[in-house]
């Protein structure tokens, strides 16, 4: 993944921001709404700047400007509620230039001179009266009727008010008999139909981008209000009841933006998947935008519904723009066809796209290497031993992975690794999940090792890292305590430095207990957070140690979970630890923990389980026949599965963005890891519930079949909303880091 924009795209963003800030102020938006929802002066200015025709082919640019550039402009237009039919006008202009014949050419010339011709995104329905955003303001509208592209001039388009004029200059043609009044056929036949459908697909992406920009601005407005508005002597943004819904919507909206960008990338690089990518982007934007603007309006309380406040404009516009193509169930059915029935869809030409999505070719090749190793090395006995929990750990196979360079391949070569990228590791994780091999001991040991590499003394590095690298030793984490839970900085476990150093140097004595020390029963070292100074604020009195698990005074009590896992309570009774095992400065644990938590807060390890559950649910629906047809061919089942497919795509782009953000050290990335974790785990749990119901009663049984994997997902997913920091903690981090809200934790 690489989400960096080119300098030219950044310049376009700057120019569009200046234009809409000046020409689409709240006052102008309100004035346009009173006049029917269209600002002709703004459209003329867009035409002068070439924004309205940026996708029209020109002699020196046969494909027009890139689709991504149009998407970026649509995002900014949405943020300012620009009262122009931007998506309809840009796609209408492009379609005119693509159609043959003198009439289309003449109208294309008028568009280049500033005229507005809009695309009707809904094919002509049975009543012959499609809804046309911008139709009441345009010189003409382009419609699709069968395989004919029609042009209907303004006098035949009737203005219609909606949601207080929230839809821009909404129009509808009159109809008589079997035709649309005043329509003339511009082009007809398969090529004309394909050109229109490609334009309509482009409209979906531009409108989805508009909705994402609109929603993001609404959430920003709500966050600003919540930071200023005080109740009970506190800013209301510090209340989790306010902050957490906004955090959820920010996550959803940024996922929508990423799906739009991903669809543009797919058009350029993976056309076989592009049609489904477009549908998914449109569905998720149309679903998340009304939810986000409703939450934003709710933040304003009674003021939110007042017409004097701008937030209600965003609420109405989001709902209107998401409905102009009709019920989203139709798009979900279309997505199902595109995913599972190889539906053939005409697609827009995107131009050059420098963005990168997915793990990349190098990581895919590495994933193939890992897959070949598993296929070659997993004997029937090992396959029978496989288990999703630490129960599936196998010391011999762990050493085999190490010998093959597949245990910690992302480590630097100086520590025994191969220098592989985080995306290589994402590809490796998919293979582990596909083969049902546990992904707990190695990632936890890696987390310990990464901190050892950065903060430990050379002596400890030389002792520990070769043992980890060879697969001989494991690590575990000792953060949580019974009284503190996710608030790890409230740790009470004490470490007291001995007054007399003794002949072998300074030592510490540690007493207390840790809970949820997963793999502690297998581990050789525990990465331990302890309190070394009880007389200072809690964040300042912490230190970290890497404690050998074979020291006297350490004991474990197993804790078994409903996910068929084992974790532990680990007790420390007067455990004597040498000072060389201290990681970082005394009372300097905060800096070390900050690095540790960034490693833990991503969601990709959870997403892989979610993805696997969905794949098995799809396999169940494919092989299960009811009423003479496989369930995957039945409308209700298909749309329910398609909705889950959208969720898994959002989880994927959010997780990959979080990986890229850490890898590339992208500024402003602090909320990305928590976003990926919250979305992946919460949607995993919600969709596990949905799929449990869909596949009932087969999901009542615990087995290795497809419905059994859904049953396991139902049990696993609830715990994943807790592991690595509960969803509530993650939402607070998103609210603070992503929206600038006050801390919701004292």
Residue 680 covered by a domain: yes
Residue 430 covered by a domain: yes
* Contact assessment for residue 259 and residue 650, using Cβ atoms and an 8 Å cutoff: yes
Look up the domain containing 504 and give its range. Answer: 475-599
Residue 356 covered by a domain: no
Same domain, yes or no, for 537 and 609? no
Query: Among 599, 617, 651, which residue terminates a domain?
Result: 599
Name the pTM for this structure: 0.94
Q: Can you tell me the distance from the alpha carbon of 425 to that of 446, in angstroms, rounded to the nearest whole number?
A: 12
Same domain, yes or no, for 545 and 619? no
State pLDDT tens for residues 20-32. 999 999 999 999 9
Q: Which residues pair with 566 in a beta bridge?
A: 560
Same domain, yes or no, for 593 and 611? no
pLDDT given at position 601: 58
- CATH code of the domain in which 703 resides: 1.20.140.10
Same domain, yes or no, for 605 and 562? no
Residue 63 covered by a domain: yes
Sign, CA torsion 291/296/297/302: positive
Query: Among 599, 616, 637, which residue terminates a domain?
Result: 599
Query: Among 599, 627, 644, which residue terminates a domain?
Result: 599
Same domain, yes or no, for 652 and 585? no
Residue 169 covered by a domain: yes
Same domain, yes or no, for 659 and 686? yes
The parts of the chain modelled with pLDDT lower than 70 are 59-63, 161-167, 177, 486, 597-601, 745-746
Same domain, yes or no, for 643 and 711? yes
Residue 341 covered by a domain: no
Same domain, yes or no, for 62 and 169? yes
pLDDT given at position 164: 54
pLDDT given at position 581: 96
Sign, CA torsion 688/689/690/696: positive
The helix (H) or strand (E) run that includes residue 568 is: strand 566-578
Residue 233 covered by a domain: no
Same domain, yes or no, for 607 and 591? no
Sheet holding 183-188, edge to edge: 117-119, 140-145, 148-153, 183-188
Q: Which two tokens mark 377?
A: 């090395």
Q: How many other CB atoms are there within 10 angstroms of residue 223's CB atom?
A: 24
Same domain, yes or no, for 533 and 659? no
- CATH code of the domain in which 512 resides: 2.40.110.10
Same domain, yes or no, for 607 and 572? no
Nearest by Cα to 439 from 451, 449, 426 = 426
Nearest by Cα to 87 from 217, 254, 210 = 210
Strands (E), 516-565: 525-531, 542-548, 554-560
Q: Can you tell me the distance from the alpha carbon of 576 to that of 725, in angstroms, rounded to the nearest whole number?
A: 30
Q: Which two tokens mark 122?
A: 């809904």
pLDDT given at position 551: 97
pLDDT given at position 162: 61
Q: What Å distances lie between residue 279 and 77, 221, 249, 333, CA to CA?
A: 21, 29, 20, 10
Residue 94 covered by a domain: yes
Same domain, yes or no, for 492 and 395? no
Domain count, the chain: 4
């Amino acid at each position: 993944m690489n989400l960096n924009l080119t300098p030219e795209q950044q310049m376009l963003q700057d120019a569009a921001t200046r234009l809409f800030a000046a020409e689409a102020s709240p006052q102008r938006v309100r004035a346009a709404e009173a006049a029917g929802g269209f600002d002709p002066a703004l459209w003329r200015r867009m035409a002068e700047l070439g924004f309205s025709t940026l996708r029209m082919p020109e002699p020196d640019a046969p494909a027009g400007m890139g689709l991504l550039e149009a998407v970026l402009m649509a995002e900014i237009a949405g943020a300012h509620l620009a009262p122009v039919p931007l998506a309809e006008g840009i796609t209408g202009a492009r379609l005119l230039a693509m159609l043959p014949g003198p009439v289309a050419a003449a109208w294309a010339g008028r568009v280049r001179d500033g005229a507005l011709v809009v695309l009707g995104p809904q094919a002509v329905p049975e009543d012959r009266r499609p809804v046309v955003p911008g139709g009441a303001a345009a010189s003409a509208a382009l419609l699709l009727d069968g395989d004919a592209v029609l042009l209907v001039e303004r006098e035949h388009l009737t203005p219609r008010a909606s949601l207080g004029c929230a839809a821009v200059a909404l129009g509808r043609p009159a109809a008589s008999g079997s035709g649309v009044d005043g329509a003339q056929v511009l082009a007809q036949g398969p090529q004309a139909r394909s050109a229109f459908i490609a334009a309509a697909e482009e409209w979906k992406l531009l409108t989805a981008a508009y909705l994402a920009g609109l929603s993001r601005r609404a959430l920003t407005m709500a966050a600003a209000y919540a930071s200023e508005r005080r109740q009970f002597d506190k800013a209301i943004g510090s209340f989790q009841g306010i902050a957490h819904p906004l955090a959820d919507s920010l996550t959803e909206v940024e996922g929508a933006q990423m799906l739009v960008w991903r669809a543009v990338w797919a058009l350029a690089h993976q056309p076989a998947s592009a049609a489904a990518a477009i549908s998914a982007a449109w569905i998720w934007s149309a679903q998340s935008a009304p939810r986000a603007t409703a939450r934003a309006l709710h933040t304003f309380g009674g003021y939110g519904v007042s017409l004097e406040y701008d937030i209600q404009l965003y609420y109405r516009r989001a709902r209107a723009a998401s409905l102009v193509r009709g019920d989203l169930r139709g798009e979900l059915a279309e997505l199902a066809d595109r995913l599972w029935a190889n539906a053939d869809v005409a697609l827009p030409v995107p131009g050059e796209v420098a963005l990168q999505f997915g793990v990349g070719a190098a990581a895919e090749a590495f994933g193939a290497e890992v897959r070949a190793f598993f296929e070659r090395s997993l004997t029937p006995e090992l396959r029978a031993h496989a288990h999703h929990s630490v129960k599936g750990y196998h010391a011999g196979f762990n050493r085999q992975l190490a010998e093959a360079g597949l245990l910690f391949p992302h480590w630097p070569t100086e520590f025994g690794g191969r220098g592989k990228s985080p995306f290589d590791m994402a590809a490796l994780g998919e293979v582990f999940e596909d083969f049902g091999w546990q992904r707990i001991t190695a990632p936890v040991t890696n987390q310990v090792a990464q901190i050892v590499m950065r903060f430990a003394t050379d002596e400890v590095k030389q002792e520990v890292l070769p043992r980890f690298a060879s697969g001989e030793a494991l690590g575990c984490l000792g953060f949580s305590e019974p009284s503190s839970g996710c608030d790890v900085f409230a740790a009470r476990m004490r470490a007291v430095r001995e007054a007399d150093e003794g002949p072998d140097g300074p030592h510490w004595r540690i007493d207390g207990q840790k809970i949820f020390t997963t793999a502690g029963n297998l581990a050789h070292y525990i990465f331990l957070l302890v309190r070394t100074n009880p007389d200072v604020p809690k964040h300042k009195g912490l230190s970290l140690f890497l404690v050998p698990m074979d020291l006297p005074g350490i004991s474990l009590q197993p804790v078994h979970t409903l996910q068929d896992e084992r974790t532990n309570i680990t007790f420390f009774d007067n455990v004597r630890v040498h000072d060389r095992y201290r990681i970082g400065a005394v009372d300097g644990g905060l800096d070390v923990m900050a690095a540790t938590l960034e490693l833990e807060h991503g969601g990709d390890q959870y997403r892989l389980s979610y993805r696997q559950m969905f794949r098995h649910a799809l396999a169940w629906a494919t092989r299960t026949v009811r009423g003479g047809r496989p369930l995957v061919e039945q409308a209700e089942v298909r749309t329910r599965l398609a909705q889950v497919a959208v969720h898994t795509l959002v989880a994927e782009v959010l997780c990959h963005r979080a990986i890229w953000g850490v890898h590339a050290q992208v500024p402003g990335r602090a909320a990305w890891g928590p976003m990926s974790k919250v979305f992946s785990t919460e949607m995993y749990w919600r969709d596990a519930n949905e799929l449990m119901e869909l596949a009932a009663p087969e999901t009542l049984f615990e087995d290795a079949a497809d419905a059994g994997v859904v049953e396991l997902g139902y049990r696993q997913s609830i715990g994943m909303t807790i592991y690595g920091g509960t969803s509530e903690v993650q939402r607070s981090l998103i609210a603070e880091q992503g929206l600038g809200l006050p801390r919701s934790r004292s």
